[in-house]
Amino acid sequence: MSFLDRFRRKTEDEASRIARLSKTGRMTDGNIIDADSDRDGRITQVTYTYMLAGVQYESSQALSDAQKQHDSDYAPGKQVVVRYDPRQPANSIVV
C-alpha cells in the first residue's frame, strides 16, 4: 500500500450507496419518464428526472423487490420521491 492510497476515496458498492442515500440523502420530487418491463409486464427499471438549483438531472435505476411489488407507482408520468447526495447531486435513487 502506497502512502497516497491512504487518502484515496474507497469505491462504494451499489448496495452500500443505496443504503446510504436511503438513510441520509436529501429528498426532492422527480418524474418517471420511461420504464422497462419484464415478460409479465411488471416494471423492473425506471428512468427519471429531477431538478435541483435550476439543473435538470436524469438517471435510471433497477427497482428493488419491494418496489416491484408496487410497480404501478413507477409508471411513466408518475411523480416520485428522489433521494440525492447534496455533494454529488447526480448521485440519486428513487424511493
Residue 70 lies in a domain: yes
Residue 77 lies in a domain: yes
**Poorest-pLDDT segment among 10-24, 58-72, 73-87:** 10-24
Total of domains in the chain: 1
Instruction: Tell me the average pLDDT across 46-75.
Output: 96
Residue 61 lies in a domain: yes
- How confident is the model over 26-44, as pLDDT tens digits? 999 999 999 999 999 999 9
Instruction: Give residue 87's domain range.
Output: 29-94
Residue 86 lies in a domain: yes
pLDDT value at 74 more than 70: yes
Distances (CA, A) of 28 to 12, 31, 32, 58: 23, 10, 13, 13
Instruction: Tell me the average pLDDT across 45-60.
Output: 97
